[in-house]
Amino acid sequence: MDSDNRVSIDFMGKTYEVSPHTTLLGALLEIGWDSVKGLGCMGGCCGACAAWYRLPGEAHVKSGLACRTPVKDGISFSLAGHYHSPKPSYDLSELKNPKQDLFDLYPEVTTCRNCEMCVQVCPQGIDPMQGVWYATFGDFAKVAEMFKSCVQCGLCARVCSVGIRPHLVAIYASRVQGACLMEKPTDLLERLSQIESGTFRDEWEAVLQSQVKPSEPEPSQ
């Protein structure tokens, strides 16, 4: 490290000196990295900056979100880049048996080998393998709960040797749970029906008429 306490990082095979108080993505912006992909929300919500990194003295490559992973002296890393995960097309309103339809849309879910690779790479600490098993048994409520923090980075699908796409399975399960399996909010539906039928039209007009109109500017002298 030099005199101003900067740290050395290795990005895509090249070495740079950066501030010690930043993240991997912050370091890339600091060195003037010309970003085309891999730069998103900057807050750990979108999954665009999924990265592979290795710490000095360690043999194993780790995964994380570049916008949340702090730099360390000697760290080497690269962005994971986009990984194509085909998304099957479906209409929730046309699903006849949502739990069984899972196997038509994602037939690979039954081939999980319990290798836990998806568990090891998830930057959000989710257990995608367990989530897939819950989905195969039709427990979509548990799947939806488990994947609340999923940022759809796709690293779980990237490392799966049998082609399972846990992040997409989770989206399907969450949508089905909300649209098809949850008890409908009867009070809310009744109130929406009343609004649509015009039950509160007079009240709404009274609210609109009571609004204070902005004063017009005085004419210039």
What's the sign of the alpha-carbon dihedral 181, 185, 186, 189? negative
* CA proximity to 156, closest of 137, 131, 174, 190: 131
Q: What is the chain's pLDDT, residue by residue, as a tens digit (221 residues)?
A: 444 689 999 999 999 999 999 999 999 999 998 876 668 888 899 999 999 999 999 999 999 999 999 999 999 999 998 888 889 999 999 999 999 999 999 999 999 999 999 999 999 999 999 999 999 999 999 999 999 999 999 999 999 999 999 999 999 999 999 998 888 888 988 999 999 999 999 998 888 888 766 666 666 65
pLDDT recorded at residue 213: 63
Looking at the domain covering 7-79, what would its CATH class be?
alpha beta
Give the C-alpha distances (Å, rounded to integers) separating 202 from 15, 122, 183, 199: 69, 53, 32, 8
Question: Of all residues in the chain, what percent are helix, strand and coil, respectively (each to 5)?
Answer: 40, 10, 50
Contact in structure between 52 and 63 (CB atoms under 8 Å): yes
Half-sphere exposure of 185 (CA within 13 A, CB side): 8
Which residues belong to CATH 3.10.20.30 in the chain?
7-79
pLDDT recorded at residue 97: 95
Contact in structure between 170 and 140 (CB atoms under 8 Å): no
Q: How far apart are CA 105 and CA 87, in angstroms?
A: 9
pLDDT recorded at residue 1: 43
